[in-house]
Chains A and B, each alone.
Chain A
Amino acid sequence: MKKNLFKNVGSDVLFPLFILIVSVGFFVMSAEFNKPTADGHMHEGFFPQVLAVLVSIFAVFIIIYGIRKKPVYFKMDDEQKKNLKLVLKIAGMFIVYVIAWPFVHFIIITILFLAGMCLVLRMSIRFTAIFSTVFAAGIYFLFTKVFSILL
């Protein structure tokens, strides 16, 4: 059902629809600035409101085009399905890496992330061990010692 919905609606509808929702959100939030200023000039919400309307108009254009033409950007053959799995795995690991960063020491979390990526990308164990350790430690020392940035 979900698959059919995505296939029938198409990516040129869903993506601009998301942008349309965001721009409507901007428009609504801009309304709270619609108070006349002391000098009687343009209020702070005017510019974002105009832009939100313009973005919405172009998003609607693309949605209509998407419904009429149904362009396909993600042709999912067997190879692409395999690649998508790879992207999702690494993106998932990346999100965990970013979330865990404030709680775990940079070197440890980066070694784990790089080692995980190496394994997903089918690199050899020897390369995984050397690359993840040397790269994580190298980046840590470059930033903390040379640039004086606490990671």
Chain B
Amino acid sequence: MELLNAIIGVFDPMVFLFLLLGVVVGYVVGILPGLSATMAVAILTPLTFWLAPQQGFAMLIGVFNSALFAGGISALLINTPGTPASIATTFDGYALTQKGYPGLGLGINTIFSCIGGWLGTAVLIIAAFPLARFALKFGPPEYFTLAMFGLAMMISVSGKNIVKGLLTGFLGLLLATVGLDPMYSTQRFTFGNLGLMEGISFIPVMIGLFGMGEVWAQMFDGVHNQKVEKLSSMGRILPTWEELKRCAPGSLIATAISVIVGIIPGTGGDIAGIISWDQARKVSKKPEEFGRGSVEGVAVTCLANNAAMGGALITMLTLGVPGESITAILIGSLMMYGMDPGPRLFTEHSQFVMTFMALMIIAYVLILVVGLVSAKYSTIVMNVRKEIIWMTVIVLCTVGAYSMNSSYVDVIIMVLSGFAGFFFRKMNYPLGPIILGLLLGRMAEANFRRSITMYDNPLQSYYTSPIAMVLLLFILLAVIVPLVKKTKQKETAQEV
């Protein structure tokens, strides 16, 4: 009933308008290779600060869901994923286009992205409230270990070099100590600057790292504008009933896999897509078609990267632990509106949680309409020159960083983060952990300090808490398993 009321609330003209605007912006961002949903949400977050939370989140939800779906369009038409989550769509998508069915590919991308989004949201609706109720039992030691677990998971899957992930993660935590101390409100590392009293704001940092840093890196790599020819014939857009039936078993498996993958912090749509594609091939009646333009292959990968978001949102909303960069930024967006993600969000702002879920459902309805109507015109958007995007992003990043607090200090933080983002990118330092460290830093420190003051023995609160012990075990596994895997890979390579 509450959800139904929330769905009706989404049809408030302003909320609906911002949702539609978000879907359109996300569509453009997703299609253009080099622009990511993460970058778009990072830049748009401060711009939505001036709107009511429902309107602001309508826009952000529209952007990230639509960008996830639209990332598949360039994967299908030019073999380049528009967003990293669409990487698996290239396995069959481009081959399907070359076979003469670009329209069918775009239609399947739209339909199955929406099905994935709805199924992921359904799991979110079912699982989030019980999990949040369970998480209400968490105290300081559990919260501290949970924050560390989120960070450990993000580091463990953050690329080839775990040491670099650890460095950026702890650097983020260190930067979070700037400002007033969370226990005694003592000024730390502010150098008397009032602008730093509340700490380093994560919004200019994330705009700099994900927006400006990306622009500098793209400029350094050079202009490689891909001219996409207007397709002479799109062919049919809607799949036949037979094709839909053939996609059903793989889609069910992909949904289950993707939601679970999404729940695990540090993983995301890209991994969900690859695993789902592989599993769908195993259950398919025509596995030989996979990799050669299989309709099933396109369907499951499009479904997977959207369904994974539902899983990622479960851990983000209920525990405050982001699954990947985009959910880390969404945590920042929620905090900007004065709402801390975690179990208390479900008790103190339950109406907003319902609106969030309703927006997810309606966003995919709009994506379905926009996706099917605009399929024929997607090549036009793809031909926008990169230089125009760079100029637009640079000015928006600067104004966006300033607009949040009308603070020139924030602009300087954004500029410095942008240059840092360039070096981090070029030298294979993962960006996710630094944002996560910055976001979780104060919560981690406050809970760590509270937890060791609870008993005379500072560690007693940890070994007497089963949840904290389980989380500590997971943290150890998250760090050790990738190291062991890497050592084994090295040994195998040496043997060969």
A84 touching B388 in the complex, CB below 8 Å, given contacts A19-B167, A44-B186, A58-B167: no
**Contact between chains at B449 and A135 (CB < 8 Å):** no
**Contact between chains at A84 and B220 (CB < 8 Å):** yes
B406 at the A interface (CB under 8 A)? yes
A1 at the B interface (CB under 8 A)? no
**Contact between chains at B188 and A44 (CB < 8 Å):** yes
A33 touching B167 in the complex, CB below 8 Å, given contacts A102-B408, A151-B402: no
B347 at the A interface (CB under 8 A)? no
Residues of chain B within 8 A (CB-CB) of A42 are 449, 452-453
Residues of chain B within 8 A (CB-CB) of A141 are none
**Contact between chains at A118 and B391 (CB < 8 Å):** yes
Residues of chain A within 8 A (CB-CB) of B170 are 51, 54-55, 58
Residues of chain B within 8 A (CB-CB) of A102 are 408
* Dominant SS among interface residues on chain A: helix
- Chain A nearest CB from B144 CB (Å) reads 11
B52 at the A interface (CB under 8 A)? no
**Contact between chains at B415 and A98 (CB < 8 Å):** yes
Cβ 8 A contact of B399, one of A26, A86, A139: A139
Identify the closest chain B residue to A121 (Cβ).
Answer: B387
Residues of chain A within 8 A (CB-CB) of B167 are 16, 19, 55, 58-59, 62
B92 at the A interface (CB under 8 A)? no
Residues of chain B within 8 A (CB-CB) of A45 are 188
Residues of chain B within 8 A (CB-CB) of A41 are 449, 452-453
Identify the closest chain A residue to B165 (Cβ).
Answer: A58
A11 touching B427 in the complex, CB below 8 Å, given contacts A19-B171, A62-B164, A147-B47: yes
Segment of B58-66, B105-113, B177-185 engaged in the interface with chain A: B177-185
- Bound together, the chains give a CA A55 to CA B163 distance in angstroms of 10
**Contact between chains at A135 and B392 (CB < 8 Å):** yes
Residues of chain A within 8 A (CB-CB) of B396 are 139
**Contact between chains at A51 and B174 (CB < 8 Å):** yes
Residues of chain B within 8 A (CB-CB) of A8 are none
Residues of chain A within 8 A (CB-CB) of B406 are 149-150
B337 at the A interface (CB under 8 A)? no
- Bound together, the chains give a CA A150 to CA B403 distance in angstroms of 9
Identify the closest chain A residue to B445 (Cβ).
Answer: A47
**Contact between chains at B387 and A55 (CB < 8 Å):** no
- Residues 391 to 432 of chain B near chain A (Cβ within 8 Å): 391-392, 394-396, 398-399, 402-403, 406, 408, 411-412, 415, 419, 423, 426-428
**Contact between chains at B219 and A98 (CB < 8 Å):** no
B173 at the A interface (CB under 8 A)? yes
A6 at the B interface (CB under 8 A)? no
Identify the closest chain B residue to A42 (Cβ).
Answer: B449
- Residues 176 to 206 of chain B near chain A (Cβ within 8 Å): 177, 181, 183-184, 186, 188-189
B132 at the A interface (CB under 8 A)? no
A98 touching B163 in the complex, CB below 8 Å, given contacts A47-B445, A51-B170, A150-B406: no
- Chain B positions 347 through 387: 1 when the CB is less than 8 Å from some CB of chain A, otherwise 0: 00000000000000000000000000000000000000001
Residues of chain B within 8 A (CB-CB) of A54 are 166, 170
B463 at the A interface (CB under 8 A)? no
- Bound together, the chains give a CA A124 to CA B220 distance in angstroms of 22
**Contact between chains at A87 and B163 (CB < 8 Å):** no
- Bound together, the chains give a CA A83 to CA B217 distance in angstroms of 10
Cβ 8 A contact of B222, one of A79, A98, A101, A110: A79
- Bound together, the chains give a CA A30 to CA B188 distance in angstroms of 8
**Contact between chains at B188 and A74 (CB < 8 Å):** no
- Chain A positions 60 through 87: 1 when the CB is less than 8 Å from some CB of chain B, otherwise 0: 0110010000000110000110111011
A37 at the B interface (CB under 8 A)? yes
Residues of chain B within 8 A (CB-CB) of A29 are 188-189
Residues of chain A within 8 A (CB-CB) of B174 are 23, 26, 48, 51-52, 55
- Bound together, the chains give a CA A55 to CA B175 distance in angstroms of 11
- Chain B nearest CB from A114 CB (Å) reads 6
A17 at the B interface (CB under 8 A)? no
- Residues 134 to 193 of chain B near chain A (Cβ within 8 Å): 163-164, 166-167, 170-171, 173-174, 177, 181, 183-184, 186, 188-189
A58 touching B166 in the complex, CB below 8 Å, given contacts A48-B174, A87-B216: yes
Residues of chain A within 8 A (CB-CB) of B387 are 121, 123
A15 touching B427 in the complex, CB below 8 Å, given contacts A48-B188, A117-B391: yes
- Bound together, the chains give a CA A87 to CA B428 distance in angstroms of 19
**Contact between chains at A98 and B50 (CB < 8 Å):** no
Cβ 8 A contact of A33, one of B47, B171, B186, B453: B186
Identify the closest chain B residue to A122 (Cβ).
Answer: B387
**Contact between chains at A131 and B395 (CB < 8 Å):** no
B221 at the A interface (CB under 8 A)? yes
A–B complex contacts, Cβ < 8 Å, 13 sampled:
A26-B177, A48-B177, A51-B174, A54-B170, A55-B170, A62-B163, A73-B426, A98-B411, A101-B408, A101-B411, A110-B395, A117-B394, A135-B392
Q: Give me 7 other A-B pairs in contact (C-beta within 8 A), A19-B167, A102-B408, A123-B387 excluded.
A: A12-B427, A48-B174, A48-B177, A82-B222, A114-B395, A135-B395, A143-B403
Closest 6 CB pairs of A and B: A58-B167, A48-B177, A51-B174, A44-B181, A121-B387, A147-B50
